[in-house]
Amino acid sequence: MISIKQLSYALAVGKTLHFKKAAEACHISQSALSTALNELEKQLGLQIFERDNKKVLVTPVGKDVLKRARTIMLQVDDLHHLADSQKPVLSYPMSIGFIPTISPFLLPNILPAINSQYPDFSLSVVEEQSHVLVEMVRSGEIDAAILALPYPCDGLLSFEFWQEDFYWVTHKNNQHAELQEVTSHELEQAKLMLLKEGHCLKDHILEACKLPPQSANHGFGATSLNTLIQMVTGKLGSTLVPAMALDQLIHKNDELRAIHLNEPSPHRRIAFIVRPNYSRLSSIEALMVLFKSQLSLKE
């Protein structure tokens, strides 16, 4: 009979593509892992992995096996956590993913409130780009993630809890620095610098402004909003940042001006994403209430 352990071992090898690393992750010997997988393949009557002394490959049918195994393991995990729905909210550990354009600006506001209201709650934070977090939620590696919408999250549930606009940040010497509002048409004349490809904030900004991709960066690129702000301070151009980041990014920087983007709002929406069968939705709801209250205090 196929066992849960065999499936977990197969998934570990599928993730690492390395028998030794998979065995270490599963806290068993490499020989024990190999024996278990050989028995699994024998029971199924098919080959999941092709292996030699140099590499491990997943066979085409093996990919289907691992996909089904992942679904089974998620269901088992949800079954184990079924009792959590009967416990007080935030009374058990949770792992939550944050994208880099949210985590440094949201966490300083909400962590003290979490520690105050739920002192026994254990939170693990993972910071990654959106596409990585979506797959981590799907695979059960993390409980939930906080993303900026719109973003494709097929097969997952999303719970929106905040909306915000973008602000154009420019040097005080810029000819438009005294404006109260700025339009996308005016930004077409600016030397606009945004994050590198792969950061959803760039896509959201271009969509909000209805600008083509080639209208931004001009040979520059950055992986953080802090870097972009330093480039603006150095008079290399201008940028757009979300409202929640304004205070932290330009606080006490007299060289910069922040001007509201006068385009249809909201410019981005913030939401939790979770698996459809996730058993701790009451805790997600509690966190959303807490996050909304702390973000409201900043307005």
Sheet holding 268-274, edge to edge: 123-127, 94-98, 144-149, 268-274, 157-164
Write down the pLDDT at residue 215: 66
pLDDT at 84: 62
Q: For 84-96, how does the pLDDT look when each residue is reduced to its tens digit (9 = 90+)?
A: 666 788 888 899 9
Instruction: Count CB-CB contacts under 10 A for residue 141.
Output: 14
3-state secondary structure of 71: helix
Tokens of residue 75, six digits: 């269901």
Type of residue at 55 = K
Whole-number pLDDT of residue 54: 75
What pLDDT score does 299 carry? 64
262 φ/ψ angles, rounded to the nearest 5 degrees = -90, 70
State the chain's mean pLDDT as an integer.
Answer: 88
Task: Quote the tokens at residue 210.
Answer: 């209805």
User: Domains in the chain, ordered, with CATH?
Assistant: 4-80 (1.10.10.10), 89-162+268-298 (3.40.190.10), 166-261 (3.40.190.10)
Q: What is the pLDDT of residue 262?
A: 94
More confident residue, 249 or 85: 249
| Confidence (pLDDT) at 217 | 57
Tell me the pLDDT band of 279, cut-offs 50, 70 and 90. confident
pLDDT digits (tens, 9 = 90+) for 286-296: 999 999 998 88
**Rg of the Cα atoms in the chain:** 23
Mean pLDDT of 94-112: 94
Predicted model pTM = 0.78
Tokens representing 138 are 């799907």
| Cis preceding-peptide flag for 88 (omega within 30 of 0) | no
Q: How far, in Å, CA of 13 to CA of 8, rounded? A: 9
Output phi, psi for 57, to 5 deg: -120, 145
The tokens for 107 are 């966490």
Closest CA to 256 of 170, 159, 139, 157: 170
pLDDT at 156 over 90: yes
Q: Does 213 have pLDDT greater than 60? A: yes
Task: Read off φ and ψ for residue 156, nearest 5 degrees.
Answer: -115, 160
Whole-angstrom CA distances from 182 to 23, 246, 257 are 57, 16, 12
Q: Of 36-45, 51-60, 65-74, 77-86, which range is least confident?
A: 77-86
